[in-house]
């Protein structure tokens, strides 16, 4: 298994994954031309990562492939949200109303459309073939992005967020959308997601309610799914929690799926990763490591069996060294799985 | 109709006197008597009359005051009308104001107009018609009209007492009770269990102050907004025939409509010269008396 930057040649695999992914995965729209644009933008982001400072949107797309080169999944990393298009969330606010006659106060909980998460780094576009979702692959594909960020630290923001698809019912309808979105957008959930994936998201600002949406007024079925994630994404969510991401007051505005956030430097993979030198040696390997080279366009990240010596050099197999595009003695980024 | 046979001839509208108590109490027993929620308990009638007599004699108009007018017909009291002035200036008065926002997206060819309710204190400083009743043998068209005519004359003489606007809060369907669809579907949602026994009028203070989107409310709630309970439908028509109209204000307790009119819309020469902070120049109106002709 190997993680590498997506290229334009991945378009067929990319389209297949987009077809299989849920409608709420708006960074993987069912639109080949749109996917091509995304692949080109990603290629350009990788090509420029070594010289470019922080500030552009830079949406990196990573592919994970098996030893035959079949693409099994994709993940994304956006250096800065809100650059090319506004980045919207719902934020849960609590306000007090006080009655001076009763000498009592009550708290009202309301959702407010906001751009608070604009200018943060975003993990997104995560989708893996249903039959390939092993814990090892999911970890590799998810955490490779954090090794990549560590390597090009000054390209990324201190705050990292990751959104998870919310709950839909057996008819692919979102109870939250039906309560909140439908009256304002006059269209079904999947239609709205499709528009969002392919059009400029300014229509959100045009149609979404600008005032607080009081949760007390919403139907029980809508309230129950606020901040709840689709079970299809439970593995990924558990990885994020183990990584140190935490639930926040932010939710997706279509399906109210949760938005987790974490300070980049406190994420486990970031904290535990370090630069190591690699030795090509058959050895009595002790542990599994995530190892990545230090390159941009030729970025590779592998899950390897390795043995760390006292000087901090990691012995890996010659095949793995070759897959990383490295020679013995080269530096790499490594972290225990 | 010649002056000699005018139906209002001989009717007198005058300031209340302490001795009117029993007659007014009897009028308020009429099934269609209108008593505002803000009038207070029945037992306080004597107190109200006392305050009103005082208000007529002081005529200072600097704080909330109650002016009670009675209709006299051949020496008998056959109608009563109450005006509360400067409402909401000591205790806030809450109303929803109905508004609209249009949301449009050219890209998606979507055009939605969304109704809103915004809780505010828009009636602050207005005068409220808080009490109205005519006797069993009287009619709104005759005795009611006489009362209104007399009160409008009072307003013409005393613009500085009465604010810019006259309002009347009419009870909604299943008014002001825990049975009101409007309250149950909106206000009640914001009230924690342990406070639900408190009176609805007080609980209004705990409602949110940013706009409420009507699409979030059930069709049952939306359908009763601005409706008036059946018992007061004649009274509503009567007020409307005298120039008051429902614009956009709604009682938060039950969705009942607030009828309103600017004094100057019904009294052309009504000329309010004083700002709230100015000293009043009004003379005592203790002897206010208006003979219909």
Measured CA distances, A73 to A135, B12, B179, B223 (Å): 13, 90, 57, 51
Q: What's the pLDDT score for residue B2?
A: 45
List all residues 6 or more positions away from B152 whose beta carbon is below 8 Å from its beta carbon. B266, B267
Q: What is the pTM of this model?
A: 0.88
Q: Which two tokens stand for residue B124?
A: 């602050």
- Measure the CA dihedral B171/B176/B182/B188, to 10°: 160
Average pLDDT (B64-72) is: 95
* pLDDT tens track for B99-123: 999 999 998 999 999 999 999 999 9
* 337 residues of chain A, pLDDT tens digit each: 899 999 999 999 999 999 998 888 888 888 899 999 999 999 999 999 988 666 789 999 999 999 999 999 999 999 999 998 899 999 999 999 999 989 999 999 999 999 999 999 999 999 999 999 999 999 999 999 999 999 999 999 999 999 999 999 998 899 999 999 999 999 999 888 888 888 888 888 899 888 999 999 999 999 999 999 999 999 999 999 999 999 999 999 999 999 999 999 999 999 999 999 999 888 777 799 999 999 999 999 999 999 888 888 999 999 999 999 999 999 999 999 8
Read off the DSSP letter of residue A229.
P
The residue in chain A having the minimum alpha-carbon distance to the alpha carbon of residue B118 is: A211
Min distance A195 CA to chain B CA atoms (Å): 8
Q: What is the ipTM of this complex?
A: 0.85
With beta carbons under 8 A apart, name residues in chain B contacting A102. 195, 198, 202-203, 205-206
Q: Where are the alpha helices (DSSP H) in A96-253?
A: 135-151, 175-176, 182-185, 189-198, 202-207, 220-224, 234-243
What distance in Å separates the CA atoms of residue B51 and residue A42, rounded to the nearest whole number? 79
Measured CA distances, A304 to A17, A133, B61 (Å): 26, 18, 88
> Which residue, chain included where needed, has tokens 């576009």?
A125
Coil, helix or strand at residue A167: coil
With beta carbons under 8 A apart, name residues in chain B contacting A179. 216
Chain A residues interacting with chain B (CB cutoff of 8 angstroms): 95, 97-102, 104-106, 108, 110, 179-180, 183-187, 195, 199-200, 202-203, 206-214, 216-218
With beta carbons under 8 A apart, name residues in chain B contacting A113. none
Measured CA distances, A37 to A55, A145, B245 (Å): 20, 21, 59
How far is CA A18 from its chain centroid?
Answer: 15
Angle between helices A11-20 and A32-48 (to 10 degrees): 120
What distance in Å separates the CA atoms of residue B276 and residue A178, rounded to the nearest whole number? 49
Average pLDDT (B3-9) is: 65
* pLDDT tens track for B150-170: 999 999 988 888 889 999 999
């Amino acid at each position: 298994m190997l993680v590498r930057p997506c290229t334009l040649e991945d378009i067929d695999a990319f389209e297949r994954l987009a077809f299989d992914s849920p409608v709420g995965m708006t960074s993987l729209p069912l639109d080949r031309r749109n996917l091509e644009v995304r692949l080109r933008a990603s290629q350009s982001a990788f090509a420029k990562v070594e010289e470019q400072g922080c500030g552009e949107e830079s949406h990196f797309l990573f592919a994970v492939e098996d030893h035959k080169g079949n693409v099994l999944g994709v993940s994304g990393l956006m250096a800065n949200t809100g650059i090319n298009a506004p980045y919207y969330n719902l934020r849960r606010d609590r306000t007090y109303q006080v009655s001076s006659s009763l000498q009592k106060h009550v708290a009202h909980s309301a959702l407010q459309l906001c751009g608070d998460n604009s200018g943060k780094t975003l993990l997104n576009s995560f989708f893996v073939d249903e039959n390939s979702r092993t814990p090892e692959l999911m970890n590799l594909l998810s955490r490779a992005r954090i090794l990549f960020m560590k390597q090009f630290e000054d390209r990324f923001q201190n705050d990292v967020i990751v959104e998870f698809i919310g709950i839909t019912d057996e008819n692919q309808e979102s109870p939250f959308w039906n309560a909140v979105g439908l009256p304002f957008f006059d269209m079904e959930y999947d239609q709205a997601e499709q528009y969002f994936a392919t059009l400029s998201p300014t229509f959100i600002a045009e149609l979404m309610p600008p005032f607080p949406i009081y949760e007390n007024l919403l139907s029980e079925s809508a309230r129950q799914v606020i901040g709840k994630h689709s079970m299809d994404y439970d593995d990924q969510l558990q990885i994020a929690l183990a990584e140190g991401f935490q639930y926040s007051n932010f939710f997706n505005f279509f399906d109210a799926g949760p938005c987790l956030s974490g300070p980049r430097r406190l994420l486990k993979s970031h904290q535990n990763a370090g630069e190591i030198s690699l030795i090509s040696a058959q050895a009595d390997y002790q542990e599994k490591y995530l190892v990545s080279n230090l390159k941009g366009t030729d970025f590779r990240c592998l899950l390897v069996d390795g043995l760390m010596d006292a000087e901090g050099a990691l012995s890996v197999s010659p095949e793995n060294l070759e897959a990383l595009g490295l020679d013995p003695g080269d530096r790499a980024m490594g972290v225990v799985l | 109709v010649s002056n000699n046979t005018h139906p209002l001839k001989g009717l007198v509208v005058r300031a209340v006197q302490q001795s009117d108590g029993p007659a007014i109490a009897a009028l308020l027993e009429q099934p269609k008597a209108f008593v505002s929620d803000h009038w207070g308990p029945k037992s306080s009638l004597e107190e109200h009359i006392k305050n009103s007599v005082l208000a007529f004699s002081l005529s200072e108009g600097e704080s909330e005051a109650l002016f009670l007018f009675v209709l006299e017909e051949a020496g008998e009291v056959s109608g009563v009308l109450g005006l509360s002035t400067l409402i909401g200036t000591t205790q806030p008065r809450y109303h929803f104001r109905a508004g609209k926002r249009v949301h449009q997206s050219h890209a998606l060819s979507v055009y939605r107009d969304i109704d809103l309710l915004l809780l505010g204190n828009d009636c602050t400083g207005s005068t409220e018609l808080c009490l109205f009743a005519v006797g069993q043998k009287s009619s709104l068209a005759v005795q009611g009209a006489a009362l209104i005519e007399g009160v409008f004359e009072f307003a013409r003489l005393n613009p500085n007492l009465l604010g810019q606007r006259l309002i009347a809060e009419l009870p909604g369907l299943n008014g002001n009770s825990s049975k009101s669809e409007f309250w149950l579907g909106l206000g009640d949602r914001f009230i924690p269990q342990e406070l639900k026994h408190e009176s609805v009028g007080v609980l209004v203070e705990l409602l949110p102050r940013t706009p409420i989107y009507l699409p979030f409310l059930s069709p049952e709630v939306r359908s009763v907004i601005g409706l008036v309970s059946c018992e007061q439908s004649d009274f509503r028509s009567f007020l409307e025939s005298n120039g008051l109209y429902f614009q956009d204000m709604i009682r938060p307790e039950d969705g009942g409509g607030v009828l309103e009119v600017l004094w100057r819309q019904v009294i052309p020469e009504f000329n309010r010269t004083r700002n709230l902070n100015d000293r009043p120049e009004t003379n005592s109106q203790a002897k206010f008396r208006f003979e219909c002709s």
